[in-house]
Amino acid sequence: MLDEMYSGAVAEQLRTRGHDVVSIHDSDYRSLEGAPDAEVFAAAVGARRAIVTENVSDYRRLETAALADGNPCPGLVYTTDRQFPRGDPATVGRLVLALAGLLADPPEASSSLFLKPVSH
């Protein structure tokens, strides 16, 4: 599940590659646009989806609380504006490539990780 800071085009391009990816901007998830992070976190748990987000501080806090309480936690994939700058037109493609690589070869066990761009 792509958080709202990402273009819906990222999810669309990943779906054309055969990946089951949704965006908060998709019609089925649009009710989460502008919702508190705790609500997005809970929706991801309910849908059994990982969250891709730049919002490290808030989601780390939610992750820590869920794990400490023994509650379910979605996988969390963090990015940074430095690694994937939002104002750069090439970012959508770079993000699609990095996420496609992660989806093709997911880590064995991890509740969270930082996504890196694919090096050429």
For the segment 25-32, the average pLDDT, to the nearest whole number, is 96
Confidence category of residue 120, pLDDT binned at 50, 70, 90: low
The residue count of the chain comes to 120
Distance of CA 100 to the CA centre of its chain: 12
Half-sphere exposure (Cβ direction) of 23: Cα atoms closer than 13 Å: 16
**pTM for this entry:** 0.92
Chain segment 45-101, per-residue pLDDT in tens:
999 999 999 999 999 999 999 999 999 999 999 999 999 998 898 999 999 999 999
The dihedrals phi and psi of 3, each to the nearest 5 degrees, come to -65, 170
Q: For 98-115, b where at least 16 C-beta lie within 10 A, e where not — what string?
A: bbbebbeeeeeeeebeeb
The pLDDT, as a whole number, for residue 8 is 94
The pLDDT, as a whole number, for residue 35 is 97
Confidence category of residue 25, pLDDT binned at 50, 70, 90: very high
Residue % of the chain over a pLDDT of 70: 98
Torsion sign over Cα 45, 47, 48, 53: negative
The pLDDT, as a whole number, for residue 72 is 92
Residue % of the chain over a pLDDT of 90: 85
The pLDDT, as a whole number, for residue 109 is 66
Confidence category of residue 119, pLDDT binned at 50, 70, 90: confident
Say if residues 59 and 53 touch (Cβ distance below 8 Å).
yes
